[in-house]
Structure 1
Amino acid sequence: MRDEGVLIIGSGLSYHNLSAMRGTGGYEPSRRFDAWLQETLVHTACDKRAERLLDWQQAPAARAAHPREDHLIPLMVVVGAAENEAGATTYHQKDFAGGLTASSFRFGRVPAAAPANGDLQ
């Protein structure tokens, strides 16, 4: 699909422990897991990225940040589609929702702007 110019979006949050979000218990786990995601998605060689993600439960504060893996599945799909394209951080906030650290990522090159007439040729 990407070869045909289809944009693939995985929606989610790098921290998803709703009960800890209500208090201050999410600050440190969100910071630690986000740092691991940064290292894995942006600073790890593309051929090793999938290996690290397969072992995500071993990451610092993994289960505190994601008690269930369902909110990481979109990330896994996008990384799989990215294949050997580099990752980059597009959003990073240290005080999200009262103190959590959260990030968003993209993979591959940013396409040129669409023509003014809206045709995507």
Structure 2
Amino acid sequence: MPVVFVSHGGGPMPLLGDPGHGEMVAALQTMAADLPRPDCLLVVTAHWEADTVSVSSGAAPGMLYDYGGFPPEAYTLQYGAPGAPAMADRVRAVLGEAGITAAADPDRGFDHGTFVPLMLLYPDADIPVLQISLERSLDPARHLAIGKALSPLLSEGGMIIGSGQSFHNIPLMFQADNPDVQKINTAFHGWLDRVVLSPELAEPDRESEFESWAQAPFAGTCHPREEHLVPLMVCAGAARAAARRRIDYSVMGIEARGYIW
């Protein structure tokens, strides 16, 4: 199975017809056509942090509307995909083999980092879904290691999807018409593309770049807090190679990225 990273946009806005998310919606609605059908979707979501890695293990996850201030219809969205309890056991096992403690959470519902992109990628909701949390430390090396530990599941029918945002400074996302904001974002994405896409970059060097991501151009401006970037690091760890494809779209007028390994 491939590994996929998506920038998932602002809250439920991609599902509410917001014009600033039109490019993202179109990109995700067509992306799955180029991917093999998985047996299970393993979503590493920016919207779940825990002291140790946690894995959703319920058979029928509910919905977690982890946002506020949106129209009433944002709180009636439904994504009825089944959970994957057996795969949850397998995830915990492969993490444990790598020395990474993982907890099962049978009550965790689908947060918007999961249900928003999946409603666009796989609207039929007929593929089992398992969510994987970030560790609260957000340590890059740790999350690269988590990705490496998960990589055997790619040969067992599991598709790993990192759901975050390649640019995540919410105040600046409302200043898309500011040329300085665009220059800052372009500079950071230049670094990100080089690290993710360059086949000539040796894996130890790629990992070193991610571990020192805060030294990238305007890194702290584009990610005042890195929780939306860390799912990409899990993806890179799982893939252990350069991405084969870049997906370009804008979110609220700001350049954003998806990647496929």
For the superposition of Structure 1 and Structure 2, which TM-score range results when normalised by the shorter chain? 0.7 to 0.9
| Deviation (angstroms), 1:12 | 1.6
Q: Which amino acid aligns with 1:103?
A: R
| Deviation (angstroms), 1:45 | 3.0
Rounded to whole Å, the distance in 1 between the matches of 2:258 and 2:244 is 9
Rounded to whole Å, the distance in 2 between the matches of 1:102 and 1:26 is 13
After TM superposition, the score normalised by the length of structure 2 is: 0.38
Q: 2:244 is matched with which residue: 84, 88, 92?
A: 88
Residue-by-residue CA offset, 1:22-62 (whole Å, 9 max, x unaligned): 11253122111111000000013333211100000000010
| Deviation (angstroms), 1:104 | 1.1
1:9 aligned residue: 161
Residue-by-residue CA offset, 1:44-102 (whole Å, 9 max, x unaligned): 3333211100000000010111000111111111111112x331333124x5422x221
| Deviation (angstroms), 1:5 | 2.5
1:75 aligned residue: 232
Rounded to whole Å, the distance in 1 between the matches of 2:242 and 2:248 is 17
Kindly report the root-mean-square deviation, in angstroms, between the aligned alpha carbons of the 2 structures.
Answer: 1.6
Q: 2:182 is matched with which residue: 27, 35, 47?
A: 27
After TM superposition, the score normalised by the length of structure 1 is: 0.77
Looking at CA atoms only, which structure, 1 or 2, has the larger radius of gyration?
2
Q: Does 1:45 align with 2:199?
A: no
- Aligned to 1:78, the other structure's residue is in SS state helix
- Aligned to 1:7, the other structure's residue is in SS state strand
Contact 1:41–1:88 at 8 Å: present in 2 too?
no
- Aligned to 1:11, the other structure's residue is in SS state strand
1:112 aligned residue: none
Q: Structure 1: which 5+ runs fail to align? A: 108-121
Identity of aligned residues (%): 36
2:80 aligned residue: none
Contact 1:13–1:102 at 8 Å: present in 2 too?
yes
The number of equivalent residue pairs is: 104
